[in-house]
């Protein structure tokens, strides 16, 4: 912990001490600077008029989707697009990889953070797994997959209509590769699985642990990847995507719905989510998800990403992981009291 001392103009130039904590995750070698500034939620409601205007030309709305979205070649998807419940999978018109799909949640053009039900999340995630399996059947060289979400413009979402992006590759992305290598190093040096040890440690410490649904554990990251923290989700004992059962996806969907409802209560405007998975067991890695809240900062709508993150590969966070966990837990507990039918925390397997 470092202490910055200055003469504060707001208090007649009396000395003020500002703590700066630099955290390094020895597992991933990531660095985050925790600057505990006071986060003030917006005092007035956000102007959401752009949402209604975007509906006029949205390619994902049902009245346009048949003519405004592409289809897969028959060699990959005979039907052209994949349907699962209310979800639809189609090719990404702006692909990030050889195999790049988009999952449209439903016909609803706009869904607030507190209204993503576990059912609609489950349909979309299952649709993504169907697409990934189709790719595996046609190309046996693919070995890694991710399911990604940019929710709303502050998180880089270019289309309001809720959708996920699926990427399937022969090689892992840079961060995924770092996690794979670190998982193996930990096993060789300690003789144990890092992710299993992490769950045990966080549950016992009780500072960043949030909740468990079945085999899916939610906690905040010690060294977060965003200015407003990060929620890490671990699929206990799931070494590859095939290990995640239908019940596992339902459990994740329940916890994700609860987390997004908490984000809404904390005035976050959007988030980025990335689920990383191997398609076959790869060392000691477990399927996992990182969910990073995003906010545009008033009064100018400033981005929450600055030169430290882009130029130095270090994240600035103005809320500590422990404070974020406390806020989410407090809301989760109050929601259980106010809504008796809310799914309960399952702390034991």
**Domain boundary assignment for the chain:** 70-304+320-338
Q: How far apart, in whole angstroms, are the C-alpha atoms of residue 131 and residue 322?
A: 37
Question: Per-residue pLDDT tens for 158-210?
Answer: 999 999 999 999 999 999 999 999 999 999 999 999 999 999 999 999 999 99
Q: How high is the pLDDT of residue 42?
A: 61
Q: Under CATH, what is the fold of the domain 70-304+320-338?
A: HIT family, subunit A (3.30.428)
CA pair distance 332, 337, nearest whole angstrom:
9
Structure tokens that stand for 71 in this block:
């289809």
Tell me: the pLDDT tens digits for 13-41? Answer: 999 999 999 999 989 889 999 997 766 66
Alpha helices (H) along the chain: 49-55, 62-68, 118-138, 174-190, 194-205, 246-265, 307-312, 321-338
Separation CA 265–CA 335 (nearest Å): 10
CB atoms within 10 A of CB 204: 9
* pLDDT per residue as tens digits for the range 76-96: 999 999 999 999 999 999 999
Show the low-confidence residues of the chain (pLDDT under 50).
Answer: 339-349
For residues 291 and 272, the answer to whether their CB atoms sit within 8 Å is: yes
pTM of the complete model beyond 0.85: yes
């Amino acid at each position: 912990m470092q202490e910055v001392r200055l003469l504060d103009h707001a208090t007649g130039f009396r000395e003020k001490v500002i703590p700066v904590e630099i955290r390094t995750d020895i597992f991933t070698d990531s660095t985050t600077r925790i600057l505990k500034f006071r986060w003030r939620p917006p005092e007035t409601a956000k102007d959401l008029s752009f949402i209604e205007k975007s509906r006029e030309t949205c390619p994902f709305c049902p009245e346009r989707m048949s003519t405004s979205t592409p289809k897969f070649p028959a060699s990959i998807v005979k039907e052209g697009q994949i349907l699962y419940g209310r979800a639809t999978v189609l090719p990404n018109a702006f692909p990030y990889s050889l195999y790049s799909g988009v999952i449209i949640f439903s016909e609803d053009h706009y869904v607030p953070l507190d209204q993503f039900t576990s059912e609609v999340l489950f349909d979309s995630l299952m649709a993504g797994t169907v697409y990934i399996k189709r790719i595996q059947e046609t190309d046996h060289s693919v070995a890694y997959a991710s399911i990604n979400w940019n929710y709303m413009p502050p998180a880089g979402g270019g289309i309001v209509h809720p959708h996920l992006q699926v990427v399937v590759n022969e090689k892992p992305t840079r961060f995924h590769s770092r996690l794979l290598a670190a998982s193996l190093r930990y096993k060789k040096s300690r003789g144990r699985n890092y992710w299993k040890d992490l769950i045990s440690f966080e549950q016992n410490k009780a500072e960043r642990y949030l909740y468990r649904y079945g085999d899916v554990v939610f906690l905040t990251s010690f060294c977060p990847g965003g200015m407003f923290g990060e929620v890490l989700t671990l699929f206990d004992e799931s070494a590859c995507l095939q290990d995640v059962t239908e019940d596992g996806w339902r459990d994740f969907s329940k916890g994700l719905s609860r987390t997004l409802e908490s984000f809404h209560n904390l005035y976050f405007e959007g988030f980025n989510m990335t689920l990383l998975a191997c398609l076959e067991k790869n060392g000691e890695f477990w399927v996992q998800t990182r969910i990073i809240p995003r906010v545009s900062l008033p009064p100018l709508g400033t981005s929450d990403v600055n030169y430290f993150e882009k130029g130095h590969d270090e994240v600035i966070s103005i809320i500590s992981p422990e404070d974020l966990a406390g806020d989410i837990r407090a809301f989760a507990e109050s929601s259980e009291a106010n809504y008796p039918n809310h799914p309960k925390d399952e702390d034991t397997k």
